[in-house]
Amino acid sequence: MQRARDRLTISRRDVMRLCREAARLDYLDSAGVFIWVYERRRDRCIAQDELHQEQSWRGEKKERQRRASNCRNELHGAKKKKKKIHHWPSQVTITHPTETQFAGVTSSKFKDCRKSRVIGLYYTDPNTGQTQPLSVQRTDGAGRYQVDLPKPAYTGNYQVQLIARKIRARKAPQICNGAQSPVITVF
């Protein structure tokens, strides 16, 4: 066999045999080892020499097994498994129950997208039109939040913004989308 950046096209039966041998390989020599990779354009597997990388022995073995498995799967027409990412829409409300308090609720069809969400309360000055953040809070387990101000709220527009969040639930990554509340005006 040839080494070091020389490509070699071989039959499918030989590739299957070599993939099985690569999965059983327990060591890497200092020069490197042939890793068998499926090349879709030519419908053949090619041998590529990969240099020894600084990894633990178990990590190298797992990497070789994963590559051999991918080669076998692609020869039989299997595709790589795609992660199931689901986007969950969210909503947020804002109320002004007292002069020094803002409260509201975050809602979503997915339960895990309601709790522990980060919200930001923003104030827009009616004279200058500039927006500035007043507070950043985290919702409780039911999706409720409450912002207590040290002084009564100034005259102007107030809005809450819900930050998007990436979580893992149902054995897959989930994305909780961000949202904005309606603007309320304090006189």
Which structural domains are found in the chain, ordered by start?
12-75 (no CATH), 86-186 (2.60.40.2300)
Q: What is the pLDDT of residues 78-96, one digit of tens each?
A: 666 677 789 999 999 999 9
Residues (pLDDT < 50) of the chain are 1-6, 25-57
Q: Indicate the pTM of the whole model.
A: 0.57
Report how far residue 44's alpha carbon sits from residue 37's, in angstroms, rounded to the nearest whole number: 9
Would you state the pLDDT for residue 61?
67
DSSP H or E segment with residue 79: none
Report how far residue 48's alpha carbon sits from residue 39's, in angstroms, rounded to the nearest whole number: 11
Would you state the pLDDT for residue 49?
39
Would you state the pLDDT for residue 10?
59
